[in-house]
Amino acid sequence: MMMKELVADFPKQLQKALLIAQSAQLNKSNTAIQNVFISGLGGSGIGGSIVAELVSQEATCPIVINKDYFSPGFINENTLAIICTYSGNTEETIQVLKHCIKAKAKITVITSGGDAAHIADQHQLDYILLPSGFPPRSCIGYSICQILKVLNFHKITETNHLLEVESTIALLQNQHQQIVTEAENVAKAIYNKLPIIYTLGNTEGVVVRFRQQLNENSKMLCWHHVIPEMNHNELVGWTEKNDDLAVIVFRYENDYYRSVKRLDVCKEVFAKYCNTIIEINAKGNSPVQRALYMIHLGDWISCLIADIKKADAMDISIINHLKAELSKMQ
């Protein structure tokens, strides 16, 4: 399938992801969970970042996100470790998985197979098997649903957010044409510019996802930052006129009012130095719905930019080259 077809099928993916989550066989921890550790990279890992932000206000313990070969020293038998590698062969994540086993953490592996599934079988770990054969970045619905399930099963969250995912499916289906139209307009406005993506507060994961999709699908560089943090550093960098820049702001109806005021001031600054400022407003009745809506809209934008540029959204030959070079090492 082409990437655009995979994006169009996102509501169907959420339906399948819910069925997988609902039938997942998990075992309770023998010890009290004092912290959660979610490890994964790229398309496999971004779901953990997004979920951690979505549940941050209700989580009963700290949730730490990892995107490296190494894991922190606090991991022990009181840690719930969620290991996310779609292929099952991500070398950084496999190394972390082995460390978590040695540290006697309570582990759940989310994967489509590979070494991760083999190790989970070998050590009798909980694991959730996903459909295989897709680009990892196209499977974010699968990972988000499974992570939500694991957190709720272990009572890290009281709310069953899978119900919100279920209601999101109808939202995305009903808004399909509006989403594609808005994505077309944004794609035409930014395809030949350097996008600078901003968001407010505890919603960074979704704009990181958008940045990654522009990188992989659209074959373009961009950067992102978060208000209020950017007010303490990056804002000072806005000093030169450059109409090759395009500011894209992700907005939510529950944006904190003081951060909204900060954004209003920032937009006045941006307008002095670039001629493209686009605000994208989330739809939905809950943080989960709004996050999934923005993920889907951002994915569409990235694919439509690829169409305009006549770029192959599926191509990741440079990543495969990197992996080939790493495979030569001992």
Last residue of a domain, one of 166, 191, 225: 166
pLDDT 10s digits, 241-299: 999 999 999 999 999 999 999 999 999 999 999 999 999 999 999 999 999 999 999 99
Is 90 exceeded by the pLDDT of residue 313?
A: yes
Q: How much is the pLDDT for 258?
A: 97
Give the mean pLDDT of 113-129: 98
Sheet holding 223-227, edge to edge: 223-227, 194-200, 245-251, 277-281
Number of domains comprising the chain: 2
Q: How much is the pLDDT for 195?
A: 98
235 CB neighbour count, 10 Å cutoff:
17
Sheet holding 106-111, edge to edge: 63-66, 35-39, 79-85, 106-111, 126-129
Q: Are residues 151 and 201 in the same domain?
A: no
| pLDDT confidence bin for 330, thresholds 50/70/90 | confident
- The percentage of the chain sitting over the pLDDT mark of 70, rounded to a whole number, equals 100
Domain membership flag for residue 319: no
Q: Cα 276 from chain centroid?
A: 26
Quick one: tokens of 181? 């139209």
The phi, psi pair for 27, rounded to 5°, reads -120, 140
CATH label of the domain that carries residue 255: 3.40.50.10490
Domain membership flag for residue 323: no
Is 90 exceeded by the pLDDT of residue 154?
A: yes
What is the overall mean pLDDT for the chain? 97
Q: How much is the pLDDT for 1?
A: 77
Distance CA 113, CA 109 (A): 10
Domain span at 288:
175-309
Taking each helix axis from N to C end, the angle separating 91-102 and 114-122, rounded to the nearest 10 degrees, works out to 10
Stated length of the chain: 330
pLDDT 10s digits, 86-102: 999 999 999 999 999 99
Q: Are residues 131 and 98 in the same domain?
A: yes
Q: Are residues 84 and 112 in the same domain?
A: yes
Q: Are residues 113 and 195 in the same domain?
A: no
pLDDT 10s digits, 25-73: 999 999 999 999 999 999 999 999 999 999 999 999 999 999 999 999 9
**DSSP tag of 132:** P
Q: Which amino acid is at 167?
A: S
Domain membership flag for residue 314: no
pLDDT 10s digits, 169-220: 999 999 999 999 999 999 999 999 999 999 998 899 999 999 999 999 999 9
Distance CA 303, CA 67 (A): 25
Give the mean pLDDT of 304-328: 95
Q: Are residues 160 and 22 in the same domain?
A: yes
